[in-house]
Amino acid sequence: MTTTVPMILLMLGCAIVTWLPRVIPFMLVRNVELPDVVLRWLKYIPVCILSALVIESLFNADGSIVTFDWLNLAAFIPTLIVAVFTKSLSKTVVVGVVSMAILRYFF
Amino acid sequence: MSLNTQINAHQTTTLDTFSQGVKDCIPTLLGYISIGLAFGVIAITSNLSVFEIFLLSVLVYAGSAQFIFCGLYIAGAPFSVIILTTFIVNLRHFLMSLTVAPNLTRYSPLRNIGFGTLLTDETFGVAVTKLMKEKHIGGNWMDGLNITAYLTWIASCTIGGLLGKWIPNAESWGLDFALIAMFCALLVLNLIDIGKSKLMHYLKLIALMAIILYILLYFMPGHLAVLIATMIVATVGVVTEK
C-alpha cells in the first residue's frame, strides 16, 4: 500500500489530460450552438468510433506489413454471431472471453 | 399536439431515474469486471502497488489508457511520453462527449462536468444506444449509469491487484478480449435500431472504415488511427447521405 510523490504527480498528469477532453465538449455546447452540419456529423460518430475500435483490434500492425490479428479475428467471429442473434451485451462478452480463452489454450 | 402523441406512442420511453440508469448499466458490468480484474493483475506484474492501482483507476478511469500506462511505466518511458500517450489514447472521448453533450444541456454546468468526468467508451455506448431507441436521455439516468460503472471499475481493478499475486498469467484467461466483445455488442445494438434503408449506408461506411484503418495503420499507432479514421468516415457519411 505504498506510492511515491513522482508517481502521484504522473497519475495526476494523466488524469488531467484524460479529464479535459471528456469535459470540454459539455462546457462547449452550453455556450456555442453547434451548426446543423456538425450535429449531422456527430450522428455518425457512435457507429464509426465503435466499428473503428473493433476493426483496429482485428489488425496486427507490429510487422512491416499490416496483417490480420488471426487470434482476435478467430475469437471475433463467434462473438459477432452471438451479438447479432442475442442482441445481449453480457452474453456477447461471455462468449468473447470464453472463445479467446479456448483459442489461447490451443495456440 | 396529436402529432406529439403519435410520436410518443411509437417510443418505448423509460423513466429518467437513477435506478433505471443502474439497471441499464448491469449488462456492461461483466465487461468492466473482466477488464478491471485483468488490469489489476497486469498492473501488479508491472510493479505497481495495490494502492497505486486503486489511485490510477480513480483518477484516470480509462481501460486502454491504464494498460498502456503500465506498459510504458515498466519500460521506463519518460513521464512526458506517458502523459502525452495517455492524452492521445483518450482523445476519442472528446468526440464521444461532443456526441452526448447536446442532449444534456438543460442541466446545470456542475452536473454537466459530472456527466463528462465519468464518460467512458462503455457508458457512451449505452447512452447512444438509448438515444438511438428513445431519442432522449435524462440526467438522473446518466448519473445512475456513470456512478455504477465507475464504482465497479475501481473495485474490479483493486481486487485484480489483490489477486494478482496468485494469477500470474491473466492474458491466457481471455479477459482482455471482453473489451472488444463489448464494443462489438454495442456496435450491433446501435445498428439494429437504425432502419433498413440507413443500414446499407452504414454497412458501406463500416467497409470503408476497414480500408481506411488498414492504410492509416502503416503511418501511425492504433489509437490515433481510430480517431482519424472515425473523423474521415463520419465526414464521408454526411457527404453521402440521402
Q: How do residues A32-61 score in pLDDT, each as one tens digit?
A: 888 999 999 999 999 999 999 999 999 999
Contacts of A90 (CB under 8 A, 6+ apart): B26, B27, B30
Q: Is the dihedral of CA B116, B117, B118, B121 positive or negative?
A: positive
Choose from A47, A94, A99, A103 for mutation: most chain B CBs within 10 A: A47
Q: ∠ at Cα B43 (B38, B47), nearest 5°? A: 150
A with B: how many residue pairs have Cβ under 8 Å apart?
271
3-state per-residue secondary structure call for chain A: CCCCHHHHHHHHHHHHHHHHHHHHHHHHHHHCCCCHHHHHHHHCHHHHHHHHHHHHHHEECCCCCCEECHHHHHHHHHHHHHHHHHCCHHHHHHHHHHHHHHHHHHC
Higher-confidence position of B43 and A80: A80
| pLDDT band, residue B53 (cuts 50/70/90) | very high
For B60, which of A8, A9, A15 is closest by C-beta distance? A15
pLDDT digits (tens, 9 = 90+) for A85-99: 999 988 998 999 999
CA distance A24 to A6: 27
The rounded distance, in Å, linking the Cα atoms of B175 and B169 is: 11
ipTM of the complex: 0.92
Flag whether pLDDT at B5 surpasses 60.
Answer: no
What per-residue confidence (pLDDT) applies to B18? 96
Q: Cβ contact (<8 Å) for B83 and A27?
A: no
A24 touches chain B (CB under 8 A): yes
Grid cell listed for B74: 515498466
**Does the CB of B151 have a partner CB in chain A at under 8 Å?**
no
Is the pLDDT confidence value at B45 over 90? no
Q: How confident is the model at residue A1 (pLDDT cuts 50, 70, 90)?
A: low
The backbone torsions φ and ψ at residue A67, rounded to the nearest 5 degrees and listed phi first, read -120, 180
Whether B217 shows a pLDDT value over 60: the answer reads yes
Q: Which of B83, B115, B190 sits opposite A17 (nearest CB)?
A: B83
**Contact call for residues B96 and B90 (beta carbons, < 8 A):** no
**Chain Cα centroid distance, residue B148:** 14
| Average of per-residue pLDDT values in chain A | 93
pLDDT at B51 over 50: yes
Q: What is the pLDDT of residue B12?
A: 61
With b for 16 or more beta-carbon neighbours within 10 A and e for fewer, the B83-103 pattern comes to bebbbbbbbbbbbbbbbbbbb
Q: Could you tell me if B103 and A42 are in contact, meaning their C-beta atoms sit under 8 angstroms apart?
A: no
Question: What are the phi and psi torsion angles at A68 (to 5°)?
Answer: -75, 150
- Percent residues over pLDDT 90 in chain B: 64
When comparing pLDDT for A2 and A36, which is higher? A36
What integer pLDDT is reported at residue B109 of this predicted model? 96
Q: Using one digit for the tens of pLDDT, what is the confidence trace for B9-41?
A: 445 678 899 999 999 999 899 889 988 988 898
Check residue B41 and give its pLDDT: 85
- State the Cα–Cα distance between residues B197 and B193, nearest whole angstrom: 11
pLDDT in tens, B69-105: 988 888 888 999 899 999 988 999 999 999 999 999 9
B22-39 burial, b at 16+ Cβ within 10 Å, e below that, comes to bebbebbbbbbbbbbbbb
* Chain B residues within an 8 Å CB radius of A106: none
